[in-house]
Amino acid sequence: MDLQLSGKTALVTGASRGIGLATTAALTAEGMRVIAAARTTSPELAATGATVVPADLSSPGAPQRLVDQAVAEVGPLDLLVNNVGGGDDDLVAGFADLTDEQWQRTFELNFFSAVRTTRAALPSLLSRGGTIITISSNGARQPHTGPMPYTTAKAALTAFSKALATEVGPHGVRVNTISPGPTRTALWESPDGHGAKVAQALGIPQQELLARLPAEAGMTTGRLVEPTEVAALVAFLASPHAASTAGADHLVDGNAVKTA
């Protein structure tokens, strides 16, 4: 299927690995001119052909600087992918042990970074009748399944996107979210990431945790989500084939969330 994205422009945040890297690769493969924002770059990201811009979007002024540079590099934006997130490696404690600083840091990265980047990019997107796709989490619907600050921030992100879709939809901008379940990324697989911390807290090897995770999360597919599966949906939702899809939250979680 021709997604009719060739020659269009995109900004992808959190692009160095995982879903962001897969999304950058999928969009450049469709012929889009992509600005890939990340705190650190990698050979894999450089190989996509995207223009890589260093950015730490947890800093309040960084989103505006990023969007200004993106527009200077590729022109007005047709697509914004708010993917940056995570940062919950130290959030395995219970509520009473979580500090204000941990809550604030998690919300800065997982919620406010998207709010600020969207605000900065919106004039450009309005001028092009563009699309905003934000990567949330199925934890927004099942907040008990992950660290409380992280899933709460993701729930706020999903609600923000739904409200924004109603406001900007009549002006030609489509807004959707994608909510993956446990995905084969560094968050779970890195030896010093969140998965490793959870395994340590449970007193089991990390590989055992990963083997048990799909079943314990209720994923009837029996495996973790692949980043490329999320990226494929991003590309489709960005395309004219999804022109009537707006204000929706799309689960990619192997049927972990079973409510309608």
Catalytic residue set: 150
Q: Which residue do the tokens 């924004």 mark?
A: 164
* Helices 194-202/206-216 angle, 10° precision: 90
Sheet holding 131-135, edge to edge: 51-54, 33-38, 9-13, 79-82, 131-135, 174-180, 249-252
Long-range contacts made by residues 116-120, C-beta under 8 angstroms, separation at least 24?
A: 116/57, 116/60, 116/62, 116/63, 116/64, 117/11, 117/13, 117/57, 117/63, 117/66, 117/67, 117/80, 117/82, 118/80, 118/82, 118/164, 119/63, 120/63, 120/64, 120/66, 120/67, 120/68
Residue pair 9/28 in contact (Cβ under 8 Å)? The answer is: no
Q: What SS3 state is found at 176?
A: strand
Give the span between the Cα atoms of 63 and 42, in whole angstroms: 21
> What are the two backbone dihedrals, phi and then psi, of residue 177, each rounded to the nearest 5 degrees?
-120, 155
